[in-house]
C-alpha cells in the first residue's frame, strides 16, 4: 500500500516555508500576489493551530530578497529564521537538521510553501526525496512561479517524481478532519473566516444569520433607511 494513502495529520506532518520574501514575490506571475500572501499566512495559522512544527528559511535577505512577510513572522514570533546562500534549501545543514529533528518524531510528511516553484521548491523537493524517505506535499496555491508555465511544469515535474500536490485549505481541513474535534474547531473556523474567501464569507453569514451568533467585530450603530425627499 502506498504511504501516500495515509492522510495528513497534525502528528505526521511538518511544514517548511521557503523564501517567502518580497523580492521573490515581485517576480511571481502565476498567482495574484496578494492572494499568494493570504494563502501563505492562512497556512501558517493552520500550522500554529495544530501545533505542527514549522521551519522558516530565507535566502540573501540583506543583499537581495528582503525580510520575510511580517504577517508570516507574526504567526511564529519565536521561530529561528534559517538563512541560506544556496537556492536549494536542502544544501543547508541547518535546514536538514530542523527537518530531521521533526522526522525523528514521526513527522516525515513535509508540507512545502515556497518561492519560486520552478527553482527553490523543485530543487529542494527532488534533493530531499533523493536523500531521505520524507514525503513532500507541495502547496500549489501557497507557492508561485515566474510565469504560469513555470509554475505548472515545475509542479508537473515534482508530481512525476513523487510529490503530492495540495492546496493550503486542503491541508487545513485534512488536519482538522472531523468537526467533532472541538479543541481546534474555533481556530479553524476563524482561519476560514479570515482567509478562505467566499467560504469564509459563507461561514460568517451562517453564524450570524442562521445561528444568530454575534458579529465578529463591534461597529457603529446602523441607521436608516431614510429615503431622500
pLDDT tens figures, 109-134: 999 999 999 999 999 999 999 999 99
Average pLDDT over residues 148-153: 98
Query: What pLDDT is stored for residue 9 in this prediction?
Result: 98
Q: Average pLDDT for residues 134-158, to the nearest whole number?
A: 98
Please report which confidence band the pLDDT of residue 35 belongs to, taking 50, 70 and 90 as the band edges: very high
Tens digits of per-residue pLDDT, 79-117? 999 999 999 999 999 999 999 999 999 999 999 999 999
pLDDT higher than threshold 80 for residue 3: no
- Gap between the Cα atoms of 223 and 216, Å rounded: 19
Which run of H or of E encompasses 135? strand 135-139
Cell 465578529 found at = 216
pLDDT higher than threshold 70 for residue 1:
no
What pLDDT sits at residue 197?
A: 95
Mean pLDDT of the chain: 96
C-alpha 31, offset from chain centre: 14
CA 94, distance to chain mean position in Å, is 21
Phi-psi region of 9 (alpha: psi -120 to 50; beta: other; left: phi over 0): beta
Q: Prior bond to 225 cis, omega within 30?
A: yes
Percentage of the chain with pLDDT > 90? 94
Q: What's the pLDDT at 4?
A: 76
Task: List phi, psi (to 5°) of 51.
Answer: 55, 40
pLDDT of residue 45: 98
Residue 2: per-residue pLDDT: 66
CB contact at 8 A, 158 and 138:
yes
Helix, strand, coil % (nearest 5) of the chain? 50, 15, 35
30, pLDDT greater than 80: yes
Amino acid at each position: 500500500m502506498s504511504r501516500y494513502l495515509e492522510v495528513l495529520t497534525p502528528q505526521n506532518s511538518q511544514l517548511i516555508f521557503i523564501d517567502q520574501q518580497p523580492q521573490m514575490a515581485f517576480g511571481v506571475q502565476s498567482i495574484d500576489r496578494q492572494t499568494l500572501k493570504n494563502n501563505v499566512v492562512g497556512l501558517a495559522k493552520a500550522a500554529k493551530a495544530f501545533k505542527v512544527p514549522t521551519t522558516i528559511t530565507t535566502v540573501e535577505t540583506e543583499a537581495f530578497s528582503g525580510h520575510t512577510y511580517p504577517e508570516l513572522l507574526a504567526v511564529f514570533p519565536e521561530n529561528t529564521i534559517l538563512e541560506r546562500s544556496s537556492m536549494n534549501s536542502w544544501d543547508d545543514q541547518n535546514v536538514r537538521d530542523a527537518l530531521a529533528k521533526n522526522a525523528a518524531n514521526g513527522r516525515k510528511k513535509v508540507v512545502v510553501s515556497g518561492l519560486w516553484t520552478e527553482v527553490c521548491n523543485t530543487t529542494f523537493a527532488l534533493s530531499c526525496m533523493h536523500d531521505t524517505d520524507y514525503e513532500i506535499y507541495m502547496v500549489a496555491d501557497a507557492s508561485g512561479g515566474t510565469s504560469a508555465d513555470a509554475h505548472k511544469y515545475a509542479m508537473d515535474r515534482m508530481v512525476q517524481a513523487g510529490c503530492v500536490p495540495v492546496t493550503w485549505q486542503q491541508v487545513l481541513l485534512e488536519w482538522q478532519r472531523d468537526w467533532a474535534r472541538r479543541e481546534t474547531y474555533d481556530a479553524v473556523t476563524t482561519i476560514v473566516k479570515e482567509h478562505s474567501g467566499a467560504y469564509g464569507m459563507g461561514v460568517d453569514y451562517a453564524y450570524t444569520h442562521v445561528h444568530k451568533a454575534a458579529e465578529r467585530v463591534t461597529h457603529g450603530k446602523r441607521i436608516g433607511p431614510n429615503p431622500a425627499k
